[in-house]
Amino acid sequence: MRPHVRIIATLDEGEDPSTVTKDLQAKAESLVEDHKQHLLNSLHELENMKLRDQKIAQLERLIKTSQSELDGMRKGLPSGSVGLSDEEIDDLRHDPRDSM
């Protein structure tokens, strides 16, 4: 999908239309490239925020599970009877960015 852009310029006497056209095209291309770079940076930042939020949620689950297991141990219950299995806890400790 390519946008169609129409640029209209008023030339002063003695200005070369070819030179002015090239200058306008260069400025337009620069603006488009700057906008593209800004969008790419924003997408990258959003992806980093998403990964951070996933990691926060993962750590919160790990804290909750660990706290539950700790409470159980303090009450004298066997460690396997409270919370998640050791394998599930290991999965929670895994950083999702390692798989990318």
CA angle 66–68–69, rounded 5-degree value: 65
Q: Residue 2 falls within a domain, yes or no?
A: no
Query: In a 3-state reduction of DSSP, which class is residue 16?
Result: coil
Q: Residue 77 falls within a domain, yes or no?
A: yes
Q: Residue 1 falls within a domain, yes or no?
A: no
Q: Residue 63 falls within a domain, yes or no?
A: yes
Q: Residue 79 falls within a domain, yes or no?
A: yes
Q: Residue 4 falls within a domain, yes or no?
A: no
CA distance 62 to 55: 10
Single pTM value for the model: 0.55
Residue 5's pLDDT band, with cuts at 50, 70 and 90, is confident
Q: Mean pLDDT score of the chain, rounded to an integer?
A: 83
Over residues 22-40, the pLDDT tens digits come to: 998 899 899 989 999 999 9
Question: Which amino acid would we find at residue 10?
Answer: T
Task: Please give the tally of structural domains in the chain.
Answer: 1
CA distance 35 to 43: 12
| Element spanning 72, H or E | helix 17-74
Q: Residue 42 falls within a domain, yes or no?
A: yes
Give the structural domain span for 55.
17-99
Q: Residue 72 falls within a domain, yes or no?
A: yes
